[in-house]
Structure 1
Amino acid sequence: MSLGTKIAWDDTVLPFQLERSDIRGRVARLDGVLDQVLSQHQYPTKIEALVAEMSLLTALIGQTIKSEWKLSLQVRGDGGARIIATDYYGPKNDGETGRMRAYASFDADKLDAAAEPFDLIGKGYFAILIDQGEGTTPYQGITPIDGGSLSTCAETYFAQSEQIPTRFSLTFGKSQEPGGDASWRAGGVMLQHMPKASPFVASEGGSGEEGLLKASDILDDDASENWNRANILLDSVEELELIGPSLAPTDLLVRLFHEEDPRVYDPQWVEFGCTCSEERVRQSLSIYSAKDIKHMTTEEGRVTADCQFCGAHYDFDPKSLGFEAASET
């Protein structure tokens, strides 16, 4: 495969459908966008791993949202990793690039060097939020932190909140080509059974831990057979096939699912993008009184703010902030 082909598949999400199994899915490869997300901060390696996994999930799920919608994934825990947050902004028009950003908050004193990255979260919740724009009420779904990985939490969310059987196979890490610097790469496949009438009865409770739903609670016998077959095929994928630059996603799908009649659609490109701006910061501070603004003012007589996602620094004259300042102009 040529270098040009390799670059062409970086930072893309390729949607597909398995015609025989009535299953849809996406293949994602993240390279430069993931490096940009992580280069905004100096996170410990295990926090970087959580951000990488969350970013990959966000790209895979984000490809399904409509134009100009915003998808947010959030994890909050009581361990060393307190917050992992990502945003995906759908493109305005078909064929344009989606944008994403991410950040993490952690307690360095609680980071156990011997623990797996997921175990650093502790107890908490995994949430998916969808904002359809001005004049609408954002949708939010929440599921407990459980299952040993962020991808398992996402699978539980879709089963519990959407009643859609979902499976992720993800890999991510740092790679280094000869003569080059180490950089982050991530790749993964997402499968979802197409929505149908569910056999689950709400009063029964699911078969998962604490009554949470699993795929087997949602699918009938025929659908369950198709779902299981597709999952067995996905189980055969190797990490290098997901993350390596030498195998195009289209070839990966043929290698894994050729008997399922895979059909691919147009890929979605993804890039790093932050929506912060001086105007947005001013707007967020416009709800405060002059007294409140005074409490935010530094000894140097300025009000400052930093974007958690991209690190942008904003510096203001306190007299220009707050609703009282706005009312005087």
Structure 2
Amino acid sequence: MTEHMEPIQGGLDRVLGFTIPDRNVRGRFVRLGPVLDEILAAHEYPPVLKQLLAEALVLCALMGGLLKREGSQLTIQAQAQGGVVELLVCDYREGELRGYLKHDPERFDELGAATDLQSLFGAGHLAITFDLPETGERYQGVVPLEGESLSAAMEEYFARSEQVPTRIRAAVQAGPNGSVAGGLLVQHLADGEEGRERLHVRMDHPEWEHVSILAGSLRAEELVDPELTPEEILWRLFHEEREVRISETMPLTRGCRCSVVHFEEVLARFPKEDRRDMQDENGIILVDCAFCSREFPIQD
């Protein structure tokens, strides 16, 4: 394994990128701390839903960390039919992370101890959208919200829509000093390094099976242990590999982009008669930002 890796400062609120060249594998590691608490504090979620949203934010950071082009954005949206959670949405753009969920409090109180995806979402689906403004491209994949967790549903997305063998591990821990959430994503890429033969996509490829088993051995308590740096985790998992390259780190921040100027620009796109219908008796349009739970009075 490559030596002299610089540790991530504090190991919290950053995405670490890495590759294992001999296995044609790339990966991302993320651990959220203060940023997670800041996002969750915008609404009074029950503990179960806090954990659900925290896992979604970890997945958003892991997948968003794969984006390379400036201004690119990843959005994860879970929509439900007949579930307790009506909507869950997170997005990532250049290290900025935000998210929220909407639920039915009365139905949640009747839920009891059930925390599986079907009980929470009903017949829901997960939509993953990539916006690449540099090229004007926008593409989306949709998979059913099935399985034991959002991470399992996300693995299914990569298998169906991207045809990329992917293993994801995620964990969330709430404590008296705040929440910590961590995640690991590894992928086997069909395009090998330059000069090497292109690989066929195979879920049972020996290279992939080896890495997938190692990644699957990562325990939940390791993912959320702030005393255990990401580099130490990679060493524990892959120290027998000839080389593991640490490619990049990206600091994460809470990225709600709401402001009076932003909403004025959005409202300006509506016809004048529509804006007039939105006004109250004082000529004010009150705009509510679901991400940060704030209201913005806009004078039209």
The TM tier, using the shorter chain, reads 0.7 to 0.9
| Closer, same or farther: CA 135–226 of 1 in aligned 2, 3 Å | closer
Where does residue 88 of structure 2 map in the other structure? 84
- Relative contact order, higher structure (CA 8 A, sep 6+): 2
| Closer, same or farther: CA 135–313 of 1 in aligned 2, 3 Å | farther
**Are the counterparts in 2 of residues 99 and 271 from structure 1 also a CA contact under 8 Å?**
yes
Q: Distance in 1 between matches of 2:20 and 2:62?
A: 17
Letter in 2 for 1:113: G
1:195 aligns to 2:178 (yes or no): no
Where does residue 147 of structure 1 map in the other structure? 147
Letter in 1 for 2:75: S
Where does residue 194 of structure 2 map in the other structure? none
Q: Distance in 2 between matches of 1:280 and 1:134?
A: 21
Where does residue 206 of structure 1 map in the other structure? none
**Are the counterparts in 2 of residues 71 and 131 from structure 1 also a CA contact under 8 Å?**
yes
State the TM-score, normalized to the length of structure 1.
Answer: 0.80
Q: Distance in 2 between matches of 1:288 and 1:273?
A: 25
Where does residue 125 of structure 1 map in the other structure? 125
Give the SS at the match of 2:164: coil
Give the SS at the match of 1:265: strand
Measured after TM superposition, the shift of residue 271 of structure 1 is: 0.9
Where does residue 247 of structure 2 map in the other structure? 265
| Closer, same or farther: CA 248–315 of 1 in aligned 2, 3 Å | same
1:73 aligns to 2:73 (yes or no): no
Letter in 1 for 2:258: C
Alignment of 1:251-262 (within 5 A): 251-261=232-242, 262=244
Match of 1:243 among 200, 209, 224: 224
State the TM-score, normalized to the length of structure 2.
Answer: 0.87
Letter in 1 for 2:249: P
Where does residue 279 of structure 2 map in the other structure? 297
Give the SS at the match of 1:168: strand
Where does residue 102 of structure 1 map in the other structure? 99
Structure 1 outlier segments of 4+, above 6 Å: none
**Are the counterparts in 2 of residues 27 and 190 from structure 1 also a CA contact under 8 Å?**
yes
Alignment of 1:107-186 (within 5 A): 107-111=104-108, 112-116=111-115, 118=117, 119-133=119-133, 136-176=136-176, 181=177, 183-186=178-181
Measured after TM superposition, the shift of residue 263 of structure 1 is: 2.2
Give the SS at the match of 2:50: helix
Give the SS at the match of 2:190: coil
Measured after TM superposition, the shift of residue 283 of structure 1 is: 2.4
Match of 1:284 among 266, 272, 288: 266
| Closer, same or farther: CA 6–13 of 1 in aligned 2, 3 Å | closer
Give the SS at the match of 2:154: helix
- Report which of the two has the higher share of helix: 1
Measured after TM superposition, the shift of residue 110 of structure 1 is: 2.0
| Closer, same or farther: CA 230–12 of 1 in aligned 2, 3 Å | same
Q: Distance in 2 between matches of 1:121 and 1:68?
A: 31
Where does residue 22 of structure 2 map in the other structure? 20
Q: Distance in 2 between matches of 1:124 and 1:281?
A: 30
**Are the counterparts in 2 of residues 304 and 316 from structure 1 also a CA contact under 8 Å?**
yes
**Are the counterparts in 2 of residues 15 and 264 from structure 1 also a CA contact under 8 Å?**
yes
* Alignment size in residue pairs: 282
- Report which of the two has the higher share of strand: 2
| Closer, same or farther: CA 285–134 of 1 in aligned 2, 3 Å | farther
| Closer, same or farther: CA 220–169 of 1 in aligned 2, 3 Å | closer
Q: Distance in 2 between matches of 1:59 and 1:220?
A: 24
Give the SS at the match of 2:22: coil
The share of aligned pairs that are identical, in percent, is 34
Measured after TM superposition, the shift of residue 104 of structure 1 is: 0.7
Q: Distance in 2 between matches of 1:135 and 1:255?
A: 39
Q: Unpaired segments of 5 or more residues in structure 1?
A: 91-97, 200-217, 321-329
Letter in 2 for 1:130: F
Measured after TM superposition, the shift of residue 220 of structure 1 is: 7.1
Give the SS at the match of 1:13: strand
CA offsets 1:73-102 (integer angstroms, 9 cap, x no match):
111112111111111112xxxxxxx11111
